[in-house]
Homo-oligomer: A and B are copies of this chain.
């Protein structure tokens, strides 16, 4: 099995500013995710966080990333537009993207979806059941019929996303809501998975089943095909002979569009 180069991106703000979050994630959410993913020897892990230069997501880092995971919440606006555009571009070229929890309002995710990505929410420490609705999907490997979380933030519908290509999980909340909590899209050559559990004040990323879903998603999201270079202007010389034969009637100079 080829190695999969994974970059775990974390905003890493709450863990420094809130004692409660630091208690749950003393090494940061990224640290907990990295520890869990070290169980998979085929993953080559790298960490990147908001306060690094270019948020740790230079052109070189992204070039060497097969799958990027993203957790952000308090500081979406601090992400540089150029970096967000660079992430979007790499996804279109084939990099996988796993967007976690409050990352639904992150710049890269919103740029790729084209929609509001808004949702409803309530923080009441209530029970969540993350239902597998697609038991043949590779992201559900090793998961039984549902994952139950005793204390979770409620995310509710309507969730302002384009219709997913594949629906993997839908969550039930004790307080009466439902939520499309595990959704797949393809954009360009890249695969995108959004997974909603993971509020910073609950130890959700310590849950082995949640960790398993994220590991599964990384495997699912790795680049699948060619990395295509497509010429955008097609010379007339490549066209069928009949066009060539009749003398072309060229009205334009040609060249690369846009």
Contacts and interface: CB of A to CB of B under 8 A. Distances in A.
Interface in A123-169: 123-126, 129, 131-143, 145, 151, 153-154, 156-160, 162-163, 165-167
A153 B177 CA distance: 18
Nearest to A227: B136
Given A119-B232, A125-B249, A131-B177, A225 B136 contact: yes
B158 A239 contact: no
Contacts of A61: none
Contacts of A232: 118-121
A234 B141 contact: no
In the complex, the count of this chain's copies comes to: 4
B174 A224 contact: no
A175 to B, nearest CB: 3
Contact of A226 (B105, B141, B153, B226): B141
A219 B1 CA distance: 14
A158 B133 contact: yes
Contacts of A223: 136
Contacts of A154: 234, 239
A228 interface: yes
Give 3 closest A-B pairs by Cβ, nearest first.
A136-B189, A175-B239, A135-B228
20 contacts: A20-B251, A76-B258, A92-B115, A111-B114, A115-B188, A123-B250, A124-B236, A124-B239, A126-B243, A129-B176, A132-B158, A133-B158, A133-B178, A136-B225, A154-B239, A163-B165, A170-B170, A172-B173, A175-B238, A201-B251
